[in-house]
Chain A
Amino acid sequence: MNKILKLALVLFLVCAVTAGILGGINELTKDRIAEINRLATIAAYSTVLKADGYDLVEADMSDFPTVDKISRATNGAGHVVELTVSGAQGLITIAVGVAPDYTCTGISIIDHSETSGLGANAAAESDVGRNFRAQFVGADESVALSKFGGAIDALSGATITSNAVTTAVATAIRAVMALG
């Protein structure tokens, strides 16, 4: 019994000291990290919807499983929806700006692992990539690839990636509509 008590005491002490130190470090870095994250969000979101700040919207998104979070622009310019959808090679994280009249104001691909030279063009800072993303500006919730009767031209050789992005935009607009 004594032995177990001793073991527990040693483990407890080590854990307590570690927790104490971590608490201190967390206190020191907390504000800085929050500020960095806020600036990073603004930097990522302002390319799709101009605003000085974005407030996270608390809402039940169980009808839209691909939606990660929705933020409302502080200047009333609309909403930014962040979604994670599956592309051709892996997950694509994408931010979609939605104006109050439920049209898309722009998209930005935050993270992806698509094939370079094909699907990766969707996120590329090249003419091909910019033209592809620009097609979504002004689109409404019925947006679709030209292959399925819509107006969006798919990236050549990357139908699946293009379709994933298009579906994400449509979902984002519907999710904002559901907010009311």
Chain B
Amino acid sequence: MKNDKLILDVAYQPQERTARNTSSIMLDVIIALIPASVWAVWQFGMKSLILLVVSVCSSVFFEWGYRKLLHKDSSIGDLSAVVTGLMLAMTLPPTAPAWVAVIGCFFAIVIVKQLYGGIGKNFLNPALAGRAFLMASYATIMSSYAVPRSLAKEVDAISMATPLTYMYGGQEVPEFFTLKSVFLGTMPGTLGEVSALLLTIGGIYLIIRKVISWRIPLSFIGTVAVVSLIAGSATMDHGNWMLYNILCGGVILNGFFMATDYVTSPITAKGQIIYGIGCGAITMLIRYFGSFPEGCSYAILIMNLCTWAIDKAFNNRQFGVSREDVKAAKASKKAAKEAAK
């Protein structure tokens, strides 16, 4: 019954009891990620399948091992470790060796999640924190991308640059990265960020199943779109620049799957929109001014740290308290202050 408590914790008022629990939600997330994973395996071959499997297994193993070692209840049944492992693998480049995934899972599960008390208590998204750890440790491995199967004819090499590297390196994007190819996902990138189409389908499935709300993905992706449309670039017209900014890189994956993590995102509607806008704005700041071409994961980690403040600032009115009541309370507070002077 522990799992039901979690749902009550993250819902905002008024609350309602449902039959859903953590494991059914996590199962939905896994289902939503399957199309994109299958696509990645098709594009990048067996190596990426091994990466996915190793990542999921080691994630579950660390979760089980830590709880066992400290004589706590096992929590692998809630499937959250499977999701963390899957998501971490999604943020790895296909050429990454499997041991990198194991180290990333160790950091994500043991240090970011379990040391702070396990599911529901971590203040950072474990998968993204794992990715940031790997990025800082194995920068070379983490920034070389394999050539996908569908580009093998055009590109005769082992690794190639992602469209974002061209875009923010001030170069022309090669012709084979057409809008259609970046939308369908015939481009290099991390395992999970290549197919915008399949990720969007997964995301919409989650919204229909009411696992996530539309607010964070829409405000996140929307902010990226607005900023790139206004700021533009010398190499492309503004409309195309905006589409490439959304479809290339991790905006779709992160917007639908990472930023919407219950534990580390705000719980109120207003808060979620502010959070999404923050993620989008920081992503674009990093893309334009940072030293890496892509900044989604850092943007979300930074906003994770702001979540408590957003929750505090955009707290909902208590159920049953009207707008007039709030105004009256404010006015009386002000009056009391002035009287004190």
A and B touch in their complex, CB below 8 angstroms: yes
Stretch at the interface among B15-23, B135-143, B319-327: B135-143
Closest to A120 in B: B139
Tell me the minimal C-beta distance from B174 to chain A in angstroms.
16
A115-B139, A117-B138, A118-B140 known; A88+B169 contact, CB < 8 A: no
Tell me the minimal C-beta distance from A143 to chain B in angstroms.
17
Contact indicator per residue, chain B 144-172, by CB within 8 Å of chain A (1) or not (0): 00000000000000000000000001110
B318 within 8 A of A: no
Closest to B171 in A: A147
Q: Pick the residue among A147, A157, A160 that contacts B143 (CB under 8 A).
A: A157
Contact indicator per residue, chain A 82-101, by CB within 8 Å of chain B (1) or not (0): 00000011000000000000
Contact indicator per residue, chain B 128-139, by CB within 8 Å of chain A (1) or not (0): 000000001011
Chain B residues whose CB sits within 8 angstroms of the CB of A156 once the complex forms: 143
Closest to A121 in B: B140
A106 within 8 A of B: no
Complex alpha-carbon distance, A157 and B140, angstroms = 8
B139 touches A118 (CB 8 A): yes
A160 touches B170 (CB 8 A): no
Chain B residues whose CB sits within 8 angstroms of the CB of A158 once the complex forms: 291
A78 within 8 A of B: no
Chain B residues whose CB sits within 8 angstroms of the CB of A89 once the complex forms: 291
Contact indicator per residue, chain B 21-40, by CB within 8 Å of chain A (1) or not (0): 00000000000000000000
B291 touches A147 (CB 8 A): no
A115 touches B143 (CB 8 A): no
A159 within 8 A of B: yes
A88-B291, A158-B291, A159-B291 known; A116+B169 contact, CB < 8 A: no
Can you list 27 A-B contacts (CB < 8 A)?
Answer: A88-B291, A89-B291, A115-B136, A115-B139, A115-B291, A116-B139, A117-B138, A117-B139, A117-B140, A118-B139, A118-B140, A118-B143, A119-B291, A147-B169, A147-B170, A147-B171, A148-B170, A156-B143, A157-B139, A157-B140, A157-B143, A157-B292, A158-B291, A159-B169, A159-B291, A160-B291, A161-B291
20 more A-B contacts (CB under 8 A) besides A115-B136, A157-B140?
A88-B291, A89-B291, A115-B139, A115-B291, A116-B139, A117-B138, A117-B139, A118-B139, A118-B140, A118-B143, A119-B291, A147-B169, A147-B170, A147-B171, A148-B170, A156-B143, A157-B139, A157-B143, A157-B292, A160-B291
User: A residues engaging B (CB < 8 A)?
Assistant: 88-89, 115-119, 147-148, 156-161
